[in-house]
Amino acid sequence: MQISDQKLVKDIKASDAKAFQVLYNRYYENLYRFTWRRVRDKDLALDLIQEVFTKTWQNRNSLDATQSIKAFLFRSVINLSIDHLRKQSVRNTVPLEFSPEPESDQEERSIDFQQAFDSALQSLTDKQREVFIMRHVDGLKYEEIADILNLSVKAIEKRMTKTLKILRENMRHLLSFIVALKIIFLR
């Protein structure tokens, strides 16, 4: 029988290292995937997760068993990731590496599409982009996102609706271009 998160938090507050190990094992893999998708660096993702768990243990007495520990851990990772990426963007004034020429027209179109999509994502606010990524990249449900961000499900749905509208508007020209290319190449 699996121990509930609430029971684990109560045991962790009582300095039960085994309960903390169970919590770590329960969420480590999901936190790693979640963090890696944000920072795209294995070592950094591992460092951020380690920092979250270390701080959680150090501040275990302030944990609230009535609050979702899963949401707490994910929020902590999000905050650390954002802090790191902000610090990194200030330091990163050197341009990215030169990438080799695409080998085919299809690869070039794929790169163009990805760049256009990345540009459209950058047009979103940080909050909109975060909800979009959590839903469509991480595959989280609206309820899970709401729990992690400490918002209502309605607020998440509203934010997602606005986000998708903005993305559709920003990608409309690209979609027209893709349809035209398909018509030309399917003749």
* Euclidean distance between CA atoms 130 and 132, whole angstroms: 5
Both 80 and 10 in one domain: the answer is yes
More confident residue, 97 or 4: 4
pLDDT digit string, tens, across residues 31-82: 999 898 888 889 999 999 999 999 999 999 999 988 899 999 999 998 898 8
24 pLDDT band (50/70/90 cuts)?
very high
3-state secondary structure 111-141: HHHHHHHHHHHHCCCHHHHHHHHHHHCCCCC
What residue type is 78 in one-letter code? I
Both 82 and 106 in one domain: the answer is no
pLDDT digit string, tens, across residues 113-152: 667 777 777 788 888 988 988 888 788 899 999 998 889 9
- pLDDT at residue number 101: 52
pLDDT digit string, tens, across residues 147-182: 988 899 999 999 999 998 988 888 776 666 666 666
Both 122 and 158 in one domain: the answer is yes
Count of structural domains, the chain: 2
98 pLDDT band (50/70/90 cuts)?
very low
Residue 97 has pLDDT above 50, yes or no: no
Both 89 and 1 in one domain: the answer is yes
- pLDDT at residue number 90: 54
CATH number of the domain bearing residue 56: 1.10.1740.10
CA 160 to chain centre: 14
Q: Of 74, 80, 62, whose CA–CA distance to 9 is shortest? A: 62
Given 93, 126, 146, the domain boundary residue is 93
Both 128 and 185 in one domain: the answer is yes
Given 70, 93, 116, the domain boundary residue is 93
Given 44, 72, 93, the domain boundary residue is 93
Residue 6 has pLDDT above 70, yes or no: yes
Q: Which domain holds residue 15?
A: 1-93
Both 77 and 132 in one domain: the answer is no
Both 4 and 67 in one domain: the answer is yes
Both 45 and 107 in one domain: the answer is no
What residue type is 131 in one-letter code? V
Q: Of 81, 86, 63, whose CA–CA distance to 16 is shortest? A: 63
CATH number of the domain bearing residue 170: 1.10.10.10
Task: Indicate the pTM of the whole model.
Answer: 0.64
